[in-house]
Amino acid sequence: MSTFGLRIGRLLSISILAAGSAYAVPPAAATAPSEEDAAMIQRVERDLGMVFIMPPAVKLDPGLRTEADAIAGAHLARMHTLVPAWIEEERRLQAGADGKAPSGAVHYAVFARMLNELALWQLAPGDAAYEKATLDAIRATPAVCANAGHDRHHDFLTRIVRVQTIPPEARAAALATERRLLEAWGKPHPAPPPWPNPLPQEAGMEAVVQMRSGGARPPLALSPVLASLLLAERERYDSMPWPTRCEFQRWWLGVSLAQGRPAAEALTAFRYGTLITAAERFGDAFEREAGTAPARNKAAASAAPPDYPKMAARFDVTGVTRVSRRFDAAGKPVQASVTERRIQVRGIRGVRPVAFEDTFDALAVRYALGGPGVAPSASGPAQAFEMVWDLGPAAGGATQGGKP
């Protein structure tokens, strides 16, 4: 494969999340950081602060808003202690022979760690009562998918809006769980559940394809917005805005439960389906910043080996993506999905980097659908292969591994 030369060499100035923090955080009690680290702390905390803003336009019960602000404030105060420690740890681990670590790499490693904490938090279950209340809330109202346009930092907002739909008598317990889940940041995490295979959006869209062709129908009808986009306009799942995709995930959750899937499994699938991963959070912002945003249709199948995503290069995301694909009788690939992800990210240790595990999914699927077919067969053969994503000096963007 061709070589791929981009390495993290300096701290770039992309400010994906940040525009300012809503919270004043107390000064760190530890020894004063260097000027450079202080700026880094400020940047990370500013980015994190955006996630914990409750926009005034969002209708919340005043009491709940007060509680939410208090939870957010307490969490950001904890993070104010934690972030300097993370930076110090990264500086130590990345130090070269001269005892220094490049600030760009340190910053992105700490940023990655923060993004992964966000992702782990989104996937973490609460106690049984919390899980039931959450499931009921998601099923009860599309309001849980409203995010007031804060597409890239609505993690906390979405949770609080969900709490608002929980019956008042159960809210205190739900908020206590929210506090507890936030207190888990920076501590050893239990392994997150595995990615659903297929992903809920893949399974749901498979059902939509059946509906389009007049085939078997799931037991629940689509809402007008989904019927309009998916049946009448035949849009792709990934072309829809986040709230509509969330609405799709709600629909598929209902279908899954109606089909007898266990509640915990369906809820995990929903959480993965609505997870704001790094790929979701940044979109093609890094490509745009570099002036290399692809002009072609992002979803179009392509036989060309994909370029290394700039976001992945910046965060030092590497690993292996295993792809499975099916062919039609003519040997043309017609369906592909990622079935396994073995991903590493600088700065994330001791836990799966779930925030980054889907970084290569879209590229891998696009390549699998656009890549070479197989000999015609009436049986419609299946095939799996691995794509190795490596940032080594002589490595290619992706290398297609052996076929099993």
Binding residues (CB under 8 A) for another protein: these are 140-143, 145-149, 212, 220-229, 231-234, 240-241, 243-244, 247
Residue number, 12 or 148, with CB nearest to another protein: 148
Nearer to another protein, 15 or 228 (CB): 228
Nearer to another protein, 273 or 353 (CB): 273
320 pairs with which residues across the strands?
A: 342, 388
**Least CB distance to another protein at residue 205 (A):** 15
What tokens does 239 get? 């072309």
Structure tokens at 393: 């000096």
Dihedral angle of Cα 251, 257, 263, 264, to the nearest 10 degrees: -60
**Closer residue to another protein (CB): 102 or 283:** 283
The sign one gets for the Cα dihedral 133, 138, 139, 143 is positive
Angstrom distances, CA of residue 296 to CA of 247, 300, 301, 302, 358:
27, 8, 10, 10, 21
Number of helical H runs and strand E runs in the chain: 14, 4
* Of 214, 119, 153, nearest in space to 21 by CA: 153
Instruction: Kindly state the smallest distance separating residue 222's Cβ from another protein, in Å.
Output: 5
**Shortest spacing between CB 232 and another protein, in angstroms:** 4
Closer CB to another protein, residue 61 or residue 127? 61
Comparing CB distances to another protein, the nearer of 238 and 265 is 238
CA distances from 99 to 9, 39, 41, 91, 93 (A): 17, 20, 21, 9, 10
162 backbone dihedrals φ, ψ, rounded to 5°: -65, -45
Between 155-165 and 103-123, two packed helices, what is the crossing angle to 10 degrees? 20
How long is the chain?
A: 404
Q: C-beta of 244: minimal distance to another protein in Å? A: 5
- Residue 214 CB, nearest approach to another protein (Å): 10
CA distance 177 to 171: 10
Minimum distance, C-beta of residue 147 to another protein, in the bound complex (Å): 8
DSSP state of 335: E
Matching residue, tokens 């939870």: 71
Q: Where are the alpha helices (DSSP H) in 220-357?
A: 224-226, 242-258, 263-273, 278-282, 285-290, 310-315
Nearer Cβ to another protein, position 68 or 240?
Answer: 240
Pick the closer one to another protein by CB: 166 or 182: 166
Least Å distance, CB 240 to another protein, is 6
- Looking at the Cβ atoms of 93 and 231, the one nearer to another protein is 231
> Closest separation between CB of residue 62 and another protein, Å?
20
Contact residues for 306 (Cβ-Cβ < 8 A; gap 6+):
360, 363, 364, 366, 367, 397, 398
Judged by beta carbon, residue 181 or residue 222, the one nearer another protein is 222
Two tokens, residue 126? 């609460």
Integer-rounded Cα Rg, in Å, for the chain is 22
Cis status of the peptide bond prior to 198, with omega within 30 of 0: yes
Considering the complex, what minimum distance in angstroms separates the CB of residue 43 from another protein? 28
| Cβ nearer to another protein, comparing 125 with 142 | 142
To another protein, the closest distance from the beta carbon of 20 in angstroms equals: 21
Shortest spacing between CB 208 and another protein, in angstroms: 11
> Can you say how many angstroms the Cα of residue 57 is from the centroid of all Cα atoms in its chain?
25
